[in-house]
Amino acid sequence: MPPKFVEGTAHISASDIKDSAAAEAAAAGPEQEMKAALFDEAQLLSTGDKKAAVELTNLVKIEGPSALRNLGIEDVIKKGLSDKKNVHGREGACMLVMTLFDEGVGHEVEPFIMNGVFETLAEAMGDKEKTVRQRAEDALLLVIRNMSTWGVPQVLRALLHQMRTAGKWQVKTGCIRLLEELIQISPEIVARLMTDIIPVMAEVIWDTKSDVQKASRAALEKLCALVSNKDIERFIPALIQSLIHPVEEVPKTIQLLSATTFVQEVDSPTLALMTPLLSRGLTERPTATKRKVAVIIDNMSKLVDNERTVRPFLPKLLPGLIKIETTVSDPEARSVVQRAINTLRQVGKVTGDGSDVKPIEDVDLSKTIELVNEQLKKNGLSGPDTLVHYVAQLVTNLANFRMFEPDEWEGTLSRYLSLFRPSSQEKSHTIVHELLRMLAKSTGEEVEVFDDEEEGEDLCNCQFSLAYGAKILLNTATLRLKRGHRYGLCGRNGSGKSTLMRAIQNGQVEGFPSPEEVRTWYVEHDLDGSEGDISIIDFIQSDKRLNVDRETAAATLKEMGFDEQRQAGPITALSGGWKMKLALARAVLFKADILLLDEPTNHLDVINVAWITNYLKQTSATSIIVSHDSKFLNDVCTDILHLNRFKIKRYPGNLDAFVKRVPEARAYVELNSGEDYSFKLPNPPLLDGVKTKEKSLVKMRDVVFQYPNTPAPQLRGVSMQLSLSSRVAVLGPNGSGKSTLVKLVVGDTEPNEGELWKHPNLVIGYVAQHAFHHIDQHLDKTPLEYMLWRYQTGEDLEEHMKATRQLTPEEEEAMKHGAIYEHEGVKRVIEDIVGRKKLKNSFQYEVSFKNMSSADNLWLSRDELMRRGFEKKIMQVDSREAQKAGMLRPLVRREIEKHFEDFGLEREFTSHNTMRGLSGGQKVKVVLGAATWRMPHIIVLDEPTNFLDRESLAALIAAIQSFEGGVAIITHSQEFSEGTCKEIWRMQDGTLHASGHNWVEGQGSGERIDKKKNDEEEVKYDALGNKIVEEKKKKKLTSSEARKAKKDRMARRKRGEEVFSDEEL
């Protein structure tokens, strides 16, 4: 195995090697004749003496690539390889190439090798002499291992040409081995070029020489392993077999794939592997097979990101689809084929059959050469044309792959630009950035390279890809972090912000410094579900990662507002805001180099937001922050990291500065949902006895509530009421009792003192402060499966978990005594409440008795059962009846998908993605959709702004404004509360101060809602969700109207007019 080349060239001067051939040649000037005289071809191509080759290496180190140009190195090597009578010359040519790389001038010689020498070396792998064949392959391996990654497309083009056209089988097997080497060295670029590779491999696997067949099939397996699409990963062996044995395997493989649900993005490698199968499948005789192929094409096309990906495959798929559209006799199969054709045309942005479609316009090499020459001249640099052309080729490849990462361009081009004379790092840097800007602009991209890019200490500078489940989030993205900078991480919901930070914390980002080099702490909401009674100070001390003594922990907690009493208290007594401060306290004690903050202002009031802002500004730690609070990002950030189109782009300055540079990111600042993005809340059904929107549905009078093991009540003397017209903002500092009040309203807890009344048929939709607690136990279900589970019985199974449904020992004892009922002198024992009916302004309930039939059931009044201790049983029946009244929609997939679409969640995520793989914003949409499925009369939202981006917030505000029911919202966002609420409840130390309210007794004086308007008709549905169309009944005439109509008919007869008999009915 040839030794691997070490990057970098040690430039020397002629004085370092005086009295040598290299020094003499350097002094001779640029004349080729003088060089050739001093470097004899026979000596250079000698297999036994490397002295001439070493001298040439020294000359290259003095003069750079110009020495190779002046000598005509390409001609020397080609001449040696083409001398059929001189085996030593052919072998020596190969060894000369290896010596130049071994001696440290690989980058200098690389452009000349790629200028025709590579193809000649490839042909030498078919030499009649075994030693020459081996030397040629060794030389090519050394070139491949040390050349620029972005030169791979040219190497592959040469290899594929030889594999397809070479007359000698040894050349083909040698090229296949080189292809396997490229798969190991540059897997990502080779994967992108599978469009060109697969058709050639499909030919080579049928070569007449068994050695070629065997080698190509082994290489094909390695090549197919580069396909990262999880949907087809398990089918790759079958796909390979369908290439090798198409007649037998194609129908079987299509059958396997037709049962697959495609959910992951379909990229070029995936299409390259699938297209031969699909193209062959369209020519199969059975209509069923053709239909399955059309379904697969349709499903996969919908997951293609852009037309650049699909265009190369259109000529192979569209004509076949169009042909079978006219020949398939089954009309249903024809409709499937037509759908696939329409999808392909839409994705590929074509109108015809794809056979004459122009390829996506790539960067023109000749124009790039002009740009490179222009920049070299502008900066006073010069060098061989061969080097100029090679640099232009690398630039073209970078642009055609749409790779516009500044670090990638710098790392690729600088080593070659440094070979031009006079060498200058500053000039190379300038040329790289200017070429990057111009090429990006020519392809429709905008790339900005900022002056402060090289300032400060690097904590991290790495390139990586990131996926979550079946979704690609980042592809060869660059992350560069400076010490002391505060980075705001921006991107739409689902772009991978939280996933990226979690991957950094878990060490899953390739190239990110190890924990020993850089200490990283992820500030997350991991206290949300904490229910233990452990004290705060003990909780801090129990975290082994912190390694702090009790005194230090207590002092830090005190600085952050935790007095001694609160430190000794249980975590369960902390509000959401204080839990977030505790999470931040742990980060402070850890003394991290990098703080990863995911929505740090969630649950924090204004005072605590100001505190964390000041802390982050003063600390020397680097911060990466995900937040939907635009004011916070403006106050804190020194830079913005933008996640967009699978890349990370840094912009200096805060959020406002970022928006000026990227206007389309204005959605992160403005509450504007856009025309094509909206939420829709389902309007509630009518309630018995509620004739206006002002009538109260929930009332509290002098309520007191206290959590167990706490020194004082959380709520004292609270009175309030809610109606359909309520638009309430519940405001107050952290720990003032806001969430506690809401939990009483929705039934999660019960008051210790005072009165709490709710309408018996009232349905409340509730999204908790820690929104994900609703779905935490169901993360491996899809949203569809979660809804089918939660509402499987027609009731909301979450209702059964609430405190208002759980019987205390005292209540069980009261029910036991109250269950004894005497009727007609006979004592009976109440077993259950089985029904309910209206009785004036209240209800009667049907009760069953133990050991008695349903014929013996009795109807008892509500007050009677309440006296007997059956209050919670009555509430269960009321809840069941309320849900029956509201369940107008069937619990089927179509309705559930439509319901979630009203909240901006696409059907793909509803039915095919587990909730574990959804972003925070998408999970909140699931929670919102689940909470409103029963069409609630009142919606209660506890901190809804925590996980929704600003576009979603704007959509939610608009939905609330048009909602026909009541809304109560806990929020610290003044912008959000002002956009939705007209009534304010201010909580302070457990007491409520209401303003802007319109509380009434009885119905109030508002517009009647219990009577339909003249043009309104009630829409009814059957059990399957189909609209029931009812014929209009004729209005019966009154006696006076009938007499008048009769007189009218008699008068018309008298005048001789025609009168129909049905008019008399």
The winner for highest mean pLDDT among 180-184, 699-703, 901-905 is 180-184
pLDDT tens profile 967-1024: 999 887 776 777 788 888 888 888 988 887 778 887 776 777 766 554 455 566 665 5
8 A C-beta contact, residue 937 and residue 964: no
Residue 801 has pLDDT above 70, yes or no: no
Residue 287 lies in a domain: yes
Are 511 and 660 part of one and the same domain?
yes
One-letter amino acid of 533: D
Q: Are strands 727-731 and 458-468 parallel, antiparallel or unpaired?
A: unpaired
Residue 752 lies in a domain: no
Are 625 and 508 part of one and the same domain?
yes
The winner for highest mean pLDDT among 219-228, 542-551, 577-586, 776-785 is 219-228
Residue 300: which CATH number?
1.25.10.10
One-letter amino acid of 65: P
Are 581 and 637 part of one and the same domain?
yes
Residue 1019 lies in a domain: no
Q: How many CA atoms lie within 13 A of 218 on its CB side?
A: 13
φ, ψ for residue 887, nearest 5 deg: -80, 70
3-state secondary structure of 1028: strand
Residue 815 has pLDDT above 50, yes or no: yes
Q: How far apart are CA 117 and CA 82, in angstroms?
A: 11
Residue 924 lies in a domain: no
φ, ψ for residue 286, nearest 5 deg: -65, 135
Residue 828: the pLDDT is 86
Are 280 and 395 part of one and the same domain?
no
Are 252 and 330 part of one and the same domain?
yes
Residue 157 has pLDDT above 90, yes or no: yes
Lowest mean per-residue pLDDT among 28-32, 168-172, 437-441: 28-32
Q: Total domain count for the chain?
A: 4
Q: What does the mean pLDDT of the chain come to?
A: 83
**What is the mean predicted confidence (pLDDT) over 770-780?**
80
Domain boundary pick from 335, 354, 373: 354
Domain boundary pick from 643, 668, 693: 668
Which among 462, 455, 524, 464 is positioned nearest to 484, based on CA atoms? 455
Are 349 and 369 part of one and the same domain?
no
Question: DSSP secondary-structure letter at 483?
Answer: T
Query: Rg for the chain (alpha carbons), in Å?
Result: 38
Upstream peptide bond of 422 is cis (omega within 30 degrees of 0): yes
Residue 209 has pLDDT above 90, yes or no: yes
DSSP track, 943-978: STTSS--HHHHHHHHHHHHH-SSEEEEE-S-HHHHH
Model-level pTM?
0.62
For residue 827, what pLDDT band results from cuts at 50, 70 and 90?
A: confident
Residues across the chain: 1065
**What is the mean predicted confidence (pLDDT) over 196-216?**
94
DSSP track, 37-76: HHS-HHHHT-SS--HHHHHHHHHHHHHTTHHHHHHTHHHH
Q: How far apart are CA 60 and CA 70, in angstroms?
A: 11
Residue 940 has pLDDT above 50, yes or no: yes
Which pair of structure tokens corresponds to residue 647? 């890349």
Residue 9 has pLDDT above 70, yes or no: no
Q: How far apart are CA 662 and CA 565, in angstroms?
A: 49
Residue that wins the pLDDT comparison between 159 and 855: 159
Residue 488 lies in a domain: yes
Residue 442: which CATH number?
1.20.1390.20
Residue 588: which CATH number?
3.40.50.300
Are 417 and 304 part of one and the same domain?
no
Residue 859: which CATH number?
2.40.50.990
Are 475 and 350 part of one and the same domain?
no
Are 527 and 660 part of one and the same domain?
yes
Residue 36 lies in a domain: no
Range of the domain at 434: 365-449
Domain boundary pick from 327, 354, 381: 354
Are 272 and 408 part of one and the same domain?
no
pLDDT tens profile 881-895: 766 665 556 888 888
3-state secondary structure of 4: coil
Residue 220: the pLDDT is 94
8 A C-beta contact, residue 790 and residue 951: no
8 A C-beta contact, residue 142 and residue 416: no
Are 393 and 413 part of one and the same domain?
yes
Q: How far apart are CA 809 and CA 543, in angstroms?
A: 38
Which residues, in sequence order, are CB contacts of 229 under 8 Å at separation 6+? 264, 265, 266, 267, 269, 270
Q: How far apart are CA 644 and CA 405, in angstroms?
A: 13
Q: How far apart are CA 744 and CA 698, in angstroms?
A: 11
Residue 564 lies in a domain: yes
For residue 381, what pLDDT band results from cuts at 50, 70 and 90?
A: very high
Q: For residue 9, how many other CB atoms are within 10 A of its CB?
A: 19
Residue 250: the pLDDT is 94
CA distances from 935 to 79, 650, 766, 910, 966 (A): 84, 44, 12, 19, 12
Residue 263 lies in a domain: yes
Give the chain's end-to-end CA distance (angstroms, integer). Answer: 107
Residue 5 has pLDDT above 70, yes or no: no
Report which secondary-structure segment, H or E, holds 991. Answer: strand 991-995
For residue 15, what pLDDT band results from cuts at 50, 70 and 90?
A: very low
Residue 677 has pLDDT above 90, yes or no: no
Helical ranges in 791-861 per DSSP H = 809-818
8 A C-beta contact, residue 20 and residue 64: no
Are 306 and 403 part of one and the same domain?
no
Q: How far apart are CA 167 and CA 128, in angstroms?
A: 13
